[in-house]
Every structure is written in structure tokens, then in C-alpha cells.
A and B are shown apart, each in its own frame.
Chain A
């Protein structure tokens, strides 16, 4: 193992050297939920700043954060906060993750358009994904077993939903799909399916209906595509979307992030179907001089 570690260190050393040679190459890696968004941001930014190269790849939030900890990328896209285990690994590697909020997402629960269910409570969503509610008739639908579609464990959305809504284990019957689009396609084809995807994907997906979610029965249910309600914090499963960098952002990385946070960058966020950064998170970004 020692040898392979040394080999990896040598490799990443080479990568750093290669990076130094062409100083303007920025590697961005991580969340599949925001890959399209960040790619769009990078495209526009590169058009305005010829000579800068930004490469954006997916793989999941966990993959991105692991790559940042191992110093294989400059920016990690993540749809969940970094967890304790990852923080510990970062500290061991001498990496200080800084969190920047680049957009806001209302995680959307989708079902087939043929499904009469239009509203669920946050707790019902949790019970459905834990496998405790097994039939649509238990939540006011027709008598059909519920087919679960979710993400693979390297997905930040998987982690976010588990942490914030399930507070327990996912049902082992859940089909784990490769990304938001694959979930949307599966739910579109399956009359008894349910899935969770980023609001940017939900707005674009055809053939699925987006459920309204409320905190508990009787409370007003909110749609994830109702912007004022989401921005005022009324949608129960909304989340900030992050980029993590090592230490304080500087140089090209900082310039790119500043572009993402600018009015122009935030316009792209809205065009991709996500929401601009709420005021409370702008203050957090300001810590890094952004």
C-alpha cells in the first residue's frame, strides 16, 4: 500500500506541475445535479476570457469532494454539505475546504402524470423512501405498489435526502439510477414510480408531474417551481448548491467563482432552472471576499 500511495503522490505531483505549466487550466469536478449549470457558466466565462480553460466533469458530489481532498481538482461541485468523515480526511491531507454557495435548489419530487397524487408531506416522502409506505393508496392514490427511483450513493442528492428527509436508511428496493435525467425518464415510463431530481431538471422534464410538498398535513403545500415561495423558505426540501475550494479562492478560480456569483452568472442559474442565491447565503460568501 505504501508504494501505491507514493505512486499516487508522484502522480498528483506531476498533475500539479502540468497545472503550473499551463497556469490557466481549472479542473471542476463533482455533482451531476449542477454539472450542466457549471458547464454553461464555464462556457460563457471562457468566451469572455480567452486563454482560460475550465474543464467541468461530473461523477457525483462525493467524487468531487474526494477529488478536491486528494488535490485532483481545484473546485468541487456539491449538492450537499461536506460531511465529518470527509472533513477529517481533508485535514489529514492538509486541505482546508471553503464552502461557496453558487445557487439554490428546490429538490423536486416527481411522479408519473397518470398518478392522481399531487401533494405529499415531507414525512410521507421520507416514509416512502424508507420503504415504510409501500402502496400509493396509503397516500391518497390508487392501489398500486410504489416503485422507488433514486440516485447512487456517490450522489449529493442521495446524501441530502437521507440526511434531511429520511433520517434513516433508503429502502433496499430502490432502483439506483445514474443521474437526474435517467430518473425522470424512468418515472415518465412508470405509472407507479416516484423520483427525486433537482428543480432545474424537473422544469425541463416532460411527462412527469412535480408534487407540491408541505411540512405536515393541513399546512399549505408549496410547489418547487413557485419561486417566491421557495425563496422565502416555504418549500420544505430546498437546499443551497455548493462549490468547495481548498483555502481561500484566488487567481483564476476566484475570478471564475466571482463570475458565477455576478448578476450575469446568476442569470444563467435561473436559465438553467435553479434559483439565485438567497440573501442569507450571500453573507457567507462574503467571508471569502466574493
Chain B
């Protein structure tokens, strides 16, 4: 076969693959918007914000307040970052600068295997292990709360944060480290004051991607956070996240009702949030690679 034609076919094949992925993304967005749109005829945006709770099964008038679940999702996500970011950057710095190369070669794949644990297994650990531990530490009687969800989501976000941060630290030019050492800085000062700032945009991108994973996670939070509909009072109280609400209710909702459309509104909001978080991660990541 003519080499040029062959070349063209291969080129076309890869082009098609790229287009399909973009097509799927746009398609999902369009379906979400089309199913969410009718909700705005039934419920005003003002009511969605004003209503104190999400109660579609109300005895008399259903309410669709979205703030409690938005707040719940934010709390669990930020809580998970509070745990995962320090631990993740610490582990990454250890792997890239302290650990013996042989240790790193074993430890890094193990960290990445952590990403493969099914979320339902983590949720299970939340019920039988983390929950009772929280009870013991705080003297409360119910350990299904935002802290529990945060800890589990931190475990889920850690592999992403560690692996990508380690890559970012590893790509800091050796001359930086040498210059720092030559000025009399010790290893600790070099890592903290030179390498981590130099890799900051890469580390930030890693944290954003970890955050993207935490926001969209469903099964773990559904099992571990207690799912009370009220506006979350504290990290030690139960929360009901956006993902959990969709997962619990979409199975039994009557199609083409206000409740059904409102669930798509929640899905659309999640989509937009994760889209921007991932976009931000991408921007930071490019900044990082360009800086190199």
C-alpha cells in the first residue's frame, strides 16, 4: 500500500479518537442541560438557594434547597484536602529526595496501587473502622459524619497527589539543588525552601486533580457520612453530599417530574464544578511544564 495513504489513514484514526472523546464530553453536557432545563420552569433559582433543605418526599410541599448539599460536598472535599495535601506532599518529598532509589522503586508503585482500591471497600472501612475510631476519640456515639468521609476521600486522593507531586519535584533542575547546597543550606532547607517552591505549580496541579477526584466520589461518602438532609452544623455532624443525593434518589424517582429534573440540576452543578477544578489543574500543570 502506498505509504502516504497509510500515513493518512493512521492520522485519521487518531484524529477520530480525539474527536470521539470531545464528542462524548459535549454530549454529556448537552444531555445534562436538556434534562435539567425543565426544572427552572418549576423551581426558581431563588427558591433553590432560599429553601433550607432538600426534601422531595415531603408530606405536603416538596422543597429543593441545594445549599445544604453544596455545603456538604465542599466540607467533605476541603476536609479531605486538609488531610491529603500535607501527607501527600510530605510523602512525595520523601520519595523524591530522601528515600533510597531502591525503596522508591518499590514504594511508588505501591502508592499507585492504592488508587485501585474500589470505593465501596473504602466505604465499608468507613463504617466498621473509621467510624468507631472517631467515636472513641470524640466520645460521640455515631461516627458516620463529615470527618469520616474526609478521611476516606483523602485516602482516595493521596495516590494522585503523591504520584504527580513526586514527578513535579523530580523535574526540578538539579542545578537548583546544587546551588542551594553550595550556599550552605542543608537537605531539609533545600527541599522546603527551594525544591517545593520551584515545583509549586506542578504540586498545585496534583492537588487540584486529587480534589477533582474527591468531589465526584459517590459510594464512599454515601456509606460513611450519615446522609442527614439538614444544613451541616459541624464536621462531626452527618452530611449529605450532592453525589450521594443523586445516587440514593435517581433509582426511584418518577421520570420527567420536577424531582427528576432537579437531580439533573445537581448533576449539572457537579459537572461544572469538576470541569473547572480540572481546568485549573490543567492550567497549573502547563505553567509548570513551561517553567521548566
Q: Interface of A with B (CB < 8 Å)?
A: 1, 4, 59-60, 62-63, 65-66, 85-86, 88-89, 147, 152-154, 158-159, 162, 166-178, 182, 186, 189-193
Q: Interface of B with A (CB < 8 Å)?
A: 31, 34-35, 52-53, 55-60, 68, 127, 132, 135, 141-142, 144, 223, 226-231, 238, 240, 248-249, 251-255, 257
Residues of A within 8 A of B257 (CB): 85
* A169 CA to B229 CA, complexed, in Å: 12
Q: When the two chains form their complex, are residues B251 and A191 in contact, meaning their CB atoms are under 8 A apart?
A: no
* A193 CA to B226 CA, complexed, in Å: 14
* A66 CA to B257 CA, complexed, in Å: 14
Q: When the two chains form their complex, are residues B53 and A172 in contact, meaning their CB atoms are under 8 A apart?
A: yes
Q: When the two chains form their complex, are residues B34 and A167 in contact, meaning their CB atoms are under 8 A apart?
A: no
Residues of B within 8 A of A89 (CB): 254-255
Distance between B71 CB and nearest chain A CB, rounded to angstroms: 13
Q: When the two chains form their complex, are residues A154 and B249 in contact, meaning their CB atoms are under 8 A apart?
A: yes
Q: When the two chains form their complex, are residues B252 and A175 in contact, meaning their CB atoms are under 8 A apart?
A: no
Partner of A172, one of B60, B142, B229, B253: B229
Q: When the two chains form their complex, are residues B141 and A152 in contact, meaning their CB atoms are under 8 A apart?
A: no
Given A66-B252, A169-B58, A189-B132, output 13 extra A-B contacts at Cβ < 8 Å.
A62-B252, A152-B227, A153-B57, A154-B248, A154-B252, A168-B59, A175-B144, A175-B238, A176-B226, A176-B248, A189-B141, A189-B142, A193-B141
Residues of A within 8 A of B132 (CB): 189
Distance between B83 CB and nearest chain A CB, rounded to angstroms: 23
Partner of B31, one of A4, A85, A174: A4
Q: When the two chains form their complex, are residues B141 and A147 in contact, meaning their CB atoms are under 8 A apart?
A: yes
Residues of A within 8 A of B228 (CB): 172-176
Residues of B within 8 A of A60 (CB): 251-252
Partner of B227, one of A4, A168, A175: A175
13 contacts between A and B (CB under 8 A): A89-B254, A153-B57, A159-B57, A169-B59, A172-B52, A175-B228, A176-B228, A176-B229, A177-B227, A182-B127, A189-B135, A189-B141, A192-B141
Residues of B within 8 A of A86 (CB): 254
Residues of B within 8 A of A152 (CB): 227, 248
Residues of A within 8 A of B231 (CB): 172
Q: When the two chains form their complex, are residues B35 and A147 in contact, meaning their CB atoms are under 8 A apart?
A: no
The 9 A-B residue pairs whose C-beta atoms are closest, nearest first, are A62-B252, A190-B141, A172-B230, A154-B252, A176-B227, A172-B229, A63-B251, A175-B226, A172-B53
* A59 CA to B247 CA, complexed, in Å: 11
Residues of A within 8 A of B227 (CB): 152, 175-177
Q: Which residue of A lies closest to B53 (CB)?
A: A172
Residues of A within 8 A of B135 (CB): 189
Distance between A148 CB and nearest chain B CB, rounded to angstroms: 8
Residues of A within 8 A of B55 (CB): 169-170, 172
Q: Which residue of B lies closest to A172 (CB)?
A: B230
Q: When the two chains form their complex, are residues B248 and A190 in contact, meaning their CB atoms are under 8 A apart?
A: no
Residues of B within 8 A of A154 (CB): 248-249, 251-252
Q: When the two chains form their complex, are residues A62 and B251 in contact, meaning their CB atoms are under 8 A apart?
A: yes
Q: When the two chains form their complex, are residues B230 and A162 in contact, meaning their CB atoms are under 8 A apart?
A: no
Pick the most buried of A4, A65, A172, A186: most chain B CB atoms within 10 A of its CB.
Answer: A172
Residues of B within 8 A of A59 (CB): 251
Partner of B248, one of A4, A66, A153: A153
Distance between B180 CB and nearest chain A CB, rounded to angstroms: 52
Q: Which residue of A lies closest to B61 (CB)?
A: A169
* A63 CA to B252 CA, complexed, in Å: 5
* A40 CA to B226 CA, complexed, in Å: 30
Distance between A167 CB and nearest chain B CB, rounded to angstroms: 7
* A92 CA to B27 CA, complexed, in Å: 28
Residues of B within 8 A of A153 (CB): 56-57, 248-249, 252
